[in-house]
Structure 1
């Protein structure tokens, strides 16, 4: 197992700093190479805080009483006195970093960055995170002039990076919620006249942003998505013989049957009349005067 570590006092000690605002006690990097499994259990936790980063692969962590399989680019935060149980399996290719810290204002610092009282965080800045961890480990190992101050500056940078990722993820989640609402609205109101521009305006968002975000989320534009809903419903109605072509066009939201036929052919590759000839039984066709 690869184990590269650095300690404030040369060995793994549960230091609770009551003099400094924040203090990094130790930091390290674990990677399973041949060992099938590595497991840590601390029923009563530690006196300091611990932040673990799964940079590659995955690992299992006890989080608030439940074992969770944590994927790559995720952080797990353990608080003082909190039960710890985590394991790494070779088959999951785990590559992890960890850091222990304490201090007079740690709780306030975690609150400031939006981390407290949460336990699990996902990030998209893997290389940046690893770079910071590696610098902290190196400073703890070499202990050059002003290393203590420097590792705490690096630690603050790590928390800032994590905080930014959380904020951006939350913002993106809000955007995705708008898209999900639009999708639900289209499926519910497809029979009515829908203007993409008016819908965006009603939601107090830019039409350009809405179209761009919708396409990023679904792979297609809002207008095309709405057309797909209508044409799929039209295919169902025509195949079942529920309505004739004109009635079907009107039912799915098209006032002009000719325009409906053009949109249908563009989406399906054949006209509604051709579609009927291929999907409805020939004997049924003889009984349909609307062909």
Structure 2
């Protein structure tokens, strides 16, 4: 079985789609840009990953959380997983936009530091030219090779670093990661988990170690990154395991032990819940790039 990714290159639409996850903390899934036709509509639907759009020119409408927004060049909007939304190009001045789809156990954190959350999904950006150049860099590095993978990851990091710097200039107080009580405890907890995820971690003991109660740590975690400490720990372990399965020849029981699971069956069950396939099937999955020259010709499928 092969995982199929697609690369479309045409005058009005350019996109790289359905990449394999290649980094635990922040993973590029797809990106591209398009000059939309008048009235071109997408949705309503719910994404399974984060998708950030930046409008390059023209106008359009976004409906999200039962609110409509009239957007124009320089506006950007984030679509979060499991949030229903639709958007439509203006009939007289249709927009052109670029987009990046991403996931990973730190995806929400990166988006938040760049000024986007589920509650505040829209803001102005003043760095569109730089962001456009990074997306073009990603698209140029579309081959499924190790060197192009490194290039794509590098451009993705530059993309978010530029967005974060832009946000700090606009709203420095809000952009400060320590702008609310509890964030410092979340930071310490994340650092502890990053170093000890291979070990047996009890959230009660983690809270005691940091010096707060479990309830306060959990609520602070959910406010900062949208999940509980336990969920964060499991997400990190699964992403690390996926990396090992793809990039090493370790036995599956050794991979399980390396991310904190002595019971291989329990590990395999949780892995399948996260990725929809068993560790063994994931390791055996190949990868193929489908090249097309017209929008709509690429179809995501397993071969």
SS state at 1:91 partner:
coil
TM-score under structure 2 length normalisation? 0.49
Aligned residue number for residue 100 of structure 2:
99
Q: Which runs of 5+ in 1 are unaligned?
A: 10-14, 174-291
Deviation (angstroms), 1:158: 1.3
Q: CA RMSD in A?
A: 2.5
Deviation (angstroms), 1:64: 2.3
Contact 2:72 2:95 in 1 (8 A): no
The 1:71–1:172 alpha-carbon spacing in structure 2 relative to 1, beyond 3 Å, is farther
- Which of 1 and 2 has higher RCO (CA within 8 Å, sep 6+)? 2
Aligned residue number for residue 22 of structure 1:
26
Higher helix share: 1
SS state at 2:129 partner:
helix
Contact 1:22 1:101 in 2 (8 A): yes
- Which of 1 and 2 has greater Rg? 1
Aligned residue number for residue 130 of structure 1:
132
Aligned residue number for residue 145 of structure 1:
146
1:5 is matched with which residue: 4, 11, 15?
Answer: 15
Q: Distance in 2 between matches of 1:81 and 1:98?
A: 18
SS state at 2:151 partner:
helix
The 1:83–1:18 alpha-carbon spacing in structure 2 relative to 1, beyond 3 Å, is farther
Contact 2:43 2:87 in 1 (8 A): yes
The 1:126–1:112 alpha-carbon spacing in structure 2 relative to 1, beyond 3 Å, is closer
Contact 2:59 2:94 in 1 (8 A): yes
Deviation (angstroms), 1:36: 2.6
Q: Distance in 2 between matches of 1:73 and 1:114?
A: 14
The 1:110–1:131 alpha-carbon spacing in structure 2 relative to 1, beyond 3 Å, is same
Q: Distance in 2 between matches of 1:8 and 1:41?
A: 19
SS state at 1:37 partner:
coil
SS state at 1:146 partner:
helix
SS state at 2:40 partner:
strand
1:47 equivalent to 2:48? Answer yes
Contact 1:7 1:25 in 2 (8 A): yes
Q: Distance in 2 between matches of 1:110 and 1:172?
A: 16
Q: Distance in 2 between matches of 1:87 and 1:153?
A: 31
Q: Distance in 1 between matches of 2:57 and 2:145?
A: 30
Aligned residue number for residue 157 of structure 2:
156
Q: Distance in 1 between matches of 2:22 and 2:67?
A: 32
Deviation (angstroms), 1:111: 3.4
Q: Which runs of 5+ in 2 are unaligned?
A: 1-10, 175-303
The 1:152–1:19 alpha-carbon spacing in structure 2 relative to 1, beyond 3 Å, is closer
Contact 1:31 1:95 in 2 (8 A): yes
Q: What are the Cα deviations for residues 95-114 of structure 1, in whole angstroms up to 9, with x where unaligned? A: 11111111122123233444
SS state at 1:148 partner:
helix
Deviation (angstroms), 1:18: 9.4
TM-score under structure 1 length normalisation? 0.51
Contact 2:141 2:152 in 1 (8 A): yes
Q: Distance in 2 between matches of 1:71 and 1:171?
A: 24
Contact 1:19 1:104 in 2 (8 A): no
Count of aligned pairs: 163
Higher strand share: 2
Aligned residue number for residue 63 of structure 1:
64
